[in-house]
Amino acid sequence: MGEFLATASVVTIVLSGLALVSGVFLIRSGRREAHMRAMLTATVLAVLFLVFYLSKVAIGYTKSWVGPAEWRTWYLVLLGSHTLLAAVNVPLALVALWYARKGLLAAGTLARVEQVPAAAAAFARHRAWVRWTVPVWLYVAVTGWIIYVVLERYGAVR
Ligand code: HEM
């Protein structure tokens, strides 16, 4: 069960990162509807990641570092920054989503954002927040995968 939850959590966070990157490319090419769908998919996958990850912790399945002692500090820095930023990403994503929802409700449709000042203002805030959300989210996804791979080689269940 623990091994299943560990694999499920790494698969969902990596897929979430891929959906996030496609969402960024989609908005850069002006495809707002597709951007919204990609980002909502990334959010659902990130929620699933948290569910799998916290279930793994709840059943007490953790792997400890049993690799070379001189690499242990680097591993702990990686694990610590990943865990801290995974927690920070939750409010960042919620605020980004909240401004997007506010803007969409004000405009009625994503095609009318520029015509409705309240919607334009909400999406300006959205853009300001995602400047932080996207890099933090990507860091969590990439380091989640790295930690999983490293622990396959240098980790042991205690
Ligand atoms: C947490 C999830 C989301 C993230 C991380 C995200 C990320 C981004 C990024 C990176 C940009 C481009 C910013 C720039 O070029 O400066 C953007 C713009 C935009 N996003 Fe999102 N987004 C998310 C959810 C949504 C949702 C759910 C909607 C629709 C309701 C949406 C609608 C838009 C629109 C309309 C823009 C263009 C704003 C403008 O050009 O004024 N986003 N978003």
Mention every residue, 6+ apart, whose C-beta is less than 8 A from residue 138: 17, 20, 21
Q: Which atom of ligand 1 is nearest to the CA of 133?
A: 5
Fold adopted by 2-157? Four Helix Bundle (Hemerythrin (Met), subunit A) (1.20.120)
CB atoms within 10 A of CB 157: 12
Interval 129-157 mean pLDDT: 95
pLDDT at residue 143 above 80? yes
pLDDT at residue 158 above 80? no
pLDDT digits (tens, 9 = 90+) for 62-102: 889 999 999 999 999 999 999 999 999 999 999 999 999 99
User: Could you tell me if 139 and 80 are in contact, meaning their C-beta atoms sit under 8 angstroms apart?
Assistant: no
At 104, list the tokens.
Answer: 């969409």
- pLDDT confidence of residue 9: 94
- Note the pTM of the prediction, 2 decimals: 0.92
Interval 105-114 mean pLDDT: 96
Total count of residues recorded for the chain: 158
Q: How far is the CA of 47 from the centre of ligand 1 (A)?
A: 19
DSSP readout, 79-122? HHHHHHHHHHHHHHHHHHHHHHHHHHHHHSSGGGGGG-HHHHHH
- Per-domain boundaries in the chain: 2-157
Ligand 1 lining (C-beta closer than 6 Å):
23-24, 27, 32, 35-36, 39-40, 43, 93, 96-97, 100, 104, 110, 113, 123, 126-127, 130, 133-134
pLDDT digits (tens, 9 = 90+) for 22-50: 999 999 999 999 999 999 999 999 999 99
Q: How far is the CA of 100 from the centre of ligand 1 (A)?
A: 7
